[in-house]
Amino acid sequence: MVSSDQLPKNYDFAVVEERWRKSWRDEDHYFDTNSKKPQFVIDTPPPYPTGNFHIGNALNWCYIDFFARYKRMKGYNVMFPQGWDCHGLPTEVKVEELNHITKNDVSREEFRRMCRELTEKNIEQMRLTLRRMAFSTDWSNEYITMTPKYYSKTQLSFLRMLESGYIYQDEHPVNYCTRCETAIAFAEVSYEDRETQLNFFDFDGVEIATTRPELLVACVAVAVHPADDRYHALNGKSLTVPLFGHAVPVVQDEAVDPKFGSGAVMICTFGDKQDVHWWKQHNLPLRKAIDRKGLMTAISGKYTGLSTTECRKAILADMKAAGILKKQEKLEQRVGTCWRCKTPIEILSGRQWFIRIKQQEIRDAAHQIKWYPEHMLLRMENWIDQMEWDWCISRQRIFATPIPVWFCKKCGDMVVPDEKDLPCDPTLTKPKHPCPKCGGNEFTGEEDVLDTWMDSSISVLNVTGWDGTGKPKIFPAQIRPQGHDIIRTWAFYSILRSVALTGSKPWDHILVNGMVLGEDGFKMSKSRGNVIVPEELVGRYGADALRQWAATGAALGSDIMFSWNDVIAASRFQTKMWNIAKFALIQLEKEGIDENAPVTALADRWLLARLSDTVGTVSARMENYEFDEALKAIREFAWDVLADNYIELAKGRLYTEGASRKSACRVLYAAYDALCRMLAPFIPYFAEECYSYLNKGSVHKQPWVAFTFDDPVARAEGDLLVKVVAEVRKYKHDNGLALNAPLGKVTVYAPHTANDDGDTARTLNADVHWRTDKAHLDKVVSGIDFNRAVVGPTFRKDAGAFMEAVKALPAEELAHPPKTIKMNGKDLTVPENAFTPKYSYVEEGAKVDVITVGDVIVTIATK
């Protein structure tokens, strides 16, 4: 043991945390590929390297670190890798901003270089935060999706799925952001309520209502319900599009709502998903009115080159001038917008790459995974059921994994690289062989790049060592931890890709955490000013306090509201724990540690029974990832059971040498050791600091606590002991006595006598007797309380005489007051509620006060 002289008075988290951070070694957290231990592989989320590890990330990573550390202590070979999901638009936008350029001002290669440089800088910054928060990351399994090593795997997975028919290329309408100038997937469309205008106009004699008049040039048909009598005459006819003059057919379709507007709607390519559906259904032509920059195309005549908003204004003005605009109404509308920039989505048709969504396959795999909490599976199922379109994986951007494909200039055939030649950028290199079909030597490299989710959805394949040949040896991983906001993206795509590439589910478990809300209950945002930065929190209260907040803030899967009070409570718990630790260490130093010393006193047996219960609860909670319940149980044991009750009871014995001190020290050590180990996953710095005083190595290399102590009698009797002491202490307090004031004789009448080894007597500073017989108490009247509000007004100047007369009554008449009383020779009526007798108890001839604890009676001799 380390000498207690070296114990600092106060726990200084800043000093302690830095000291341990410097001495811990990365190698201790490496996954051992040769280990015989059971494996526990974590498919850690690769965060986007913005440079700031935000509080939501922190929550997510705390959960991961809790179970990573727990599993290591339970004897697992744990892999807790750290990835970085680099590619994507946010970095491109940042690079444009920082360098005051647009992506087209420099070469693609130069632009990529700038993106890589910024990303590297940001990753370095975020690594520091991860270390500061004491996450037990396996740095030997770090991966960065923008590196050739990683994206060659993304490309390999692309080629494999192209080969097996999952991936295809097609001209098809897709969601498109004209500001970001790229296709996006359905999962990246967010919806917003906006107010718009519904415009009613005359369409060649038919009234049409539209919110998007700028699409008039893209009108390819007018649809009516087949049973709508108003339009029977139009069947098979065509109509002329106003302002533009091209003819469009009238088609009948059950999906038209006859009650909306006039019951006739125009079909444009494309206003919404329904348009796409009708367009396919009725085999209509394609009129592209909006280009990839969001401007009107050449088919728009005099409106060519206008933005959609400008065009809308111009068309409405022209309709008005032509006298065909009949009325305008306000309309509440849900608009699909780009998740990134909030620009309303256009549906544009173009050549894109897609992954086939095989719903049943994904559903089956999702059902083979155990979901924590269980109801998150429902969210996945709902999303799978909603899928109508395949996943569009091509993007018209630059900083991303290139699609490894060329097209032969002569015959147009697709040529792919050999797998050994990956990674490849087809815009910079040529195929190594001539075109297999026509022998041509001229090729065009694919300029489209892959959706970022194509990189991150193989994270689990990457960490398990996938090389393109089926299932890796350590696949599937044991767990995927992630937020509920990316179930429809990351979880969905990962399952899809694992099934397509290995035929198997990606993980045994998925653990879904909630979002962190600001102190005001709203989503954190700069504009609300409710953003909490982990670094600030760690600077003020330490990483361990933040980790405690993460553990106790909410049940798994629930959103968690940030609260400084929780962080302060966490830091208070550490102060309390430090005081407990100092006390225990001083006692252990005096007595030495003897783990085999006989446990004699009731309080000692009781503490071990309660510790055994706590270890059982905490272990069960940890197995179910219920960190809030686990830490709550530890805190309760440490604070209530150990500090407030046990130590108060055993203090007297600990100050006296002898066998009973040995017994107390043995259980104190057991509790100390178990608390360090149970706290290790939650507050690794604090636990390491406390454990280090025992001189037994790092707490993080100890096995998880396996302590059991079965003694139901000690638990029941000890509970009583603790309650009696608490009640008598309360009695002292209520009677204005100091807690250590001497009390005289205290008798406890309980069903069993407790062999408390004198603990109760010492703690209460009293002569305590435990007895099993019945208490023989005589109730005697010891005084009278007069109700002056009744006595005064009734008797006025005779009040004093009345009270004297009452005091002279025999005791039994005081308990049941007579109707009249003799005063000055007259019988006077005794008013109701004029007085109540005061009682006290007499035991064996001495006056006592009485307290009851359930069925147990405690008497305290009064002087």
Nearest distance in Å: CB 292, Zn ion: 12
Measure the CA–CA gap between 350 and 762, rounded to whole angstroms: 87
Nearest distance in Å: CB 334, Zn ion: 18
Site for Zn ion in 632-661 (CB under 5 A): none
435 lies in the binding site for Zn ion (CB under 5 A): yes
Give 440 or 616: the residue with its C-beta nearer to Zn ion: 440
State which H helix or E strand residue 561 sits in. strand 560-561
The two counts, helices (H) then strands (E), for the chain are 25, 33
Measure the CA–CA gap between 250 and 228, rounded to whole angstroms: 13
Stretch that binds Zn ion, among 76-84, 412-420, 637-645, 755-763 (CB under 5 A): 412-420
Strand partners, 415: 406
Give 90 or 258: the residue with its C-beta nearer to Zn ion: 90
Does the N-terminal peptide bond of residue 637 adopt cis geometry, omega within 30 degrees of 0?
Answer: no
Which member of 247, 286, 411, 780 binds Zn ion (CB under 5 A)?
411
Nearest distance in Å: CB 272, Zn ion: 18
Nearest distance in Å: CB 434, Zn ion: 8
108 lies in the binding site for Zn ion (CB under 5 A): no
Nearest distance in Å: CB 179, Zn ion: 5
The site that binds Zn ion (CB under 5 A) totals a number of residues, namely: 15
Give 189 or 726: the residue with its C-beta nearer to Zn ion: 189
For 569, residues 6+ apart whose C-beta sits below 8 A from its C-beta are none
Work out whether strand 247-252 and strand 219-224 pair parallel, antiparallel, or are unpaired.
parallel
Task: Check: CB of residue 183 under 8 Å from CB of residue 453.
Answer: no
Alpha-carbon separation of residue 226 from 258, 631, 655 (angstroms): 10, 65, 96
Give 318 or 413: the residue with its C-beta nearer to Zn ion: 413
Give 176 or 353: the residue with its C-beta nearer to Zn ion: 176
Work out whether strand 346-355 and strand 167-177 pair parallel, antiparallel, or are unpaired.
antiparallel
Stretch that binds Zn ion, among 221-229, 413-421, 552-560, 635-643 (CB under 5 A): 413-421
Give 404 or 514: the residue with its C-beta nearer to Zn ion: 404
Give 95 or 830: the residue with its C-beta nearer to Zn ion: 95
Measure the CA–CA gap between 186 and 180, rounded to whole angstroms: 15
Backbone angles phi and psi of 577, in degrees to 5: -60, -35
Stretch that binds Zn ion, among 316-324, 430-438, 480-488, 500-508 (CB under 5 A): 430-438
341 lies in the binding site for Zn ion (CB under 5 A): yes
345 lies in the binding site for Zn ion (CB under 5 A): no
Which member of 51, 249, 434, 440 binds Zn ion (CB under 5 A)?
440
Which member of 16, 256, 377, 408 binds Zn ion (CB under 5 A)?
408
Torsion of CA 536, 542, 548, 551, to 10 degrees: 50
Nearest distance in Å: CB 677, Zn ion: 50
For 572, residues 6+ apart whose C-beta sits below 8 A from its C-beta are none
430 lies in the binding site for Zn ion (CB under 5 A): no
416 lies in the binding site for Zn ion (CB under 5 A): no
Give 89 or 683: the residue with its C-beta nearer to Zn ion: 89
Long-range contacts of 386-389 (CB under 8 A, 24+ apart): 387/186, 387/357, 387/359, 388/273, 389/174, 389/186, 389/357
Place of tokens 């604890």: 853
Binding marks (x or -) toward Zn ion, 127..166, rule CB under 5 A? Answer: ----------------------------------------
Which member of 437, 523, 528, 590 binds Zn ion (CB under 5 A)?
437
Measure the CA–CA gap between 494 and 459, rounded to whole angstroms: 8
Task: Check: CB of residue 614 under 8 Å from CB of residue 708.
Answer: no
Environment class of 307 (CB within 10 Å of its CB; exposed 0-12, middle 13-18, buried 19+): middle
Give 95 or 177: the residue with its C-beta nearer to Zn ion: 177
Nearest distance in Å: CB 644, Zn ion: 58
Q: What is the DSSP string of 718-773?
A: HHHHHHHHHHHHHHHHHTT--TTS---EEEEE-SS----TTHHHHHHTSEEEEE-S
Backbone angles phi and psi of 449, in degrees to 5: -120, 175
Binding marks (x or -) toward Zn ion, 309..338, rule CB under 5 A? Answer: -----------------------------x
Task: Check: CB of residue 185 under 8 Å from CB of residue 453.
Answer: yes
Nearest distance in Å: CB 275, Zn ion: 21
Stretch that binds Zn ion, among 345-353, 379-387, 403-411, 595-603 (CB under 5 A): 403-411
Task: Check: CB of residue 109 under 8 Å from CB of residue 402.
Answer: no
Give 179 or 351: the residue with its C-beta nearer to Zn ion: 179
Stretch that binds Zn ion, among 264-272, 410-418, 751-759, 782-790 (CB under 5 A): 410-418
SS3 of 507, please?
A: strand
Which H, E and C letters describe 204-258, residue by residue?
Answer: CCEEEEECCHHHHHHEEEEEECCCCHHHHHHCCCEEECCCCCCEEEEEECCCCCC
For 157, residues 6+ apart whose C-beta sits below 8 A from its C-beta are 454, 458, 461, 468, 497, 501
Alpha-carbon separation of residue 401 from 83, 150, 397, 750 (angstroms): 16, 10, 10, 77
410 lies in the binding site for Zn ion (CB under 5 A): yes
Nearest distance in Å: CB 276, Zn ion: 20
Nearest distance in Å: CB 349, Zn ion: 18
Give 411 or 713: the residue with its C-beta nearer to Zn ion: 411
Give 331 or 411: the residue with its C-beta nearer to Zn ion: 411
When computed from its CA atoms, the radius of gyration of the chain, rounded to whole angstroms, is 39
Nearest distance in Å: CB 346, Zn ion: 11
| Sign of the Cα pseudo-torsion (358, 359, 362, 367, in order) | negative
Which member of 120, 207, 413, 559 binds Zn ion (CB under 5 A)?
413
Give 414 or 659: the residue with its C-beta nearer to Zn ion: 414
Give 83 or 88: the residue with its C-beta nearer to Zn ion: 88
Nearest distance in Å: CB 193, Zn ion: 19
Which member of 247, 322, 438, 741 binds Zn ion (CB under 5 A)?
438
Give 338 or 834: the residue with its C-beta nearer to Zn ion: 338
Which member of 19, 131, 172, 340 binds Zn ion (CB under 5 A)?
340
Give 242 or 431: the residue with its C-beta nearer to Zn ion: 431
Measure the CA–CA gap between 672 and 579, rounded to whole angstroms: 12
Site for Zn ion in 577-616 (CB under 5 A): none
Nearest distance in Å: CB 140, Zn ion: 38
Nearest distance in Å: CB 397, Zn ion: 11
Give 180 or 671: the residue with its C-beta nearer to Zn ion: 180
Stretch that binds Zn ion, among 106-114, 400-408, 613-621, 625-633 (CB under 5 A): 400-408
Task: Check: CB of residue 509 under 8 Å from CB of residue 370.
Answer: yes
Binding marks (x or -) toward Zn ion, 789..828, rule CB under 5 A? Answer: ----------------------------------------
Give 409 or 822: the residue with its C-beta nearer to Zn ion: 409
| Sign of the Cα pseudo-torsion (741, 742, 747, 750, in order) | positive
Site for Zn ion in 168-207 (CB under 5 A): 177, 179-180
Stretch that binds Zn ion, among 124-132, 407-415, 521-529, 636-644 (CB under 5 A): 407-415
Two structure tokens written together for 325: 């605009």
Q: Name the residues that contact Zn ion, by CB under 5 A.
A: 177, 179-180, 338, 340-341, 343, 408, 410-411, 413, 435, 437-438, 440
